[in-house]
A = this chain, B = another copy of it.
């Protein structure tokens, strides 16, 4: 990136949050299942500020992929409400909540049935690939009454 100010004007289009001239990607985590989710990259990260800033948005009832990885996430909820799987529990989430997801913690975001869920997710530009739960990890998640009815895989 050259040393120029970049200003992304916010737009609201058909109830979805968008930024001017910024492409909207259907969010498909490698090999994992998600629903109703889009991704927009607000900042790709540089040596001066090694963080990629992404905006994920789910339609009501949608969810992100169930995954874990070595790299950490910092998430800030921007709109709506829902729930988040964080390892061994599911937490209700609402606009402006701030969530740090540590290494190797299974996580998944669920929009409420009647609400969009939009969040910023900060991540290191260089990172390992997310992993879906293997058979053993899935068994462990499904044996936990606090999360078993939430997870989508």
Contact = CB atoms under 8 A, between A and B. Distances in A.
A7 B99 contact: yes
Instruction: Please tell me the size bucket of the interface on A.
Output: 35 or more
Nearest to A99: B7
Contacts of A74: 42-43, 49, 51, 53
A122 interface: yes
A8 B97 contact: yes
A96 B122 CA distance: 16
A7 B123 contact: no
A152 to B, nearest CB: 20
When all copies of this chain in the complex are counted, the total is 2
B100 A5 contact: yes
Contact of A5 (B5, B51, B99): B99
Interface stretch (A87-95, A129-137, A140-148): A87-95
Interface stretch (A26-34, A60-68, A101-109): A101-109
A99 B10 contact: no
Interface string A39-53: 000110010111101
Interface of A: 1-10, 17, 19, 42-43, 46, 48-51, 53, 71-74, 76-78, 86-87, 91, 94-105, 120, 122-124
25 contacts: A1-B100, A3-B103, A4-B102, A5-B87, A5-B100, A5-B101, A5-B102, A5-B105, A6-B98, A6-B99, A6-B100, A8-B97, A8-B99, A10-B77, A10-B98, A42-B98, A49-B51, A49-B122, A50-B50, A51-B74, A51-B122, A53-B98, A78-B78, A120-B120, A122-B122
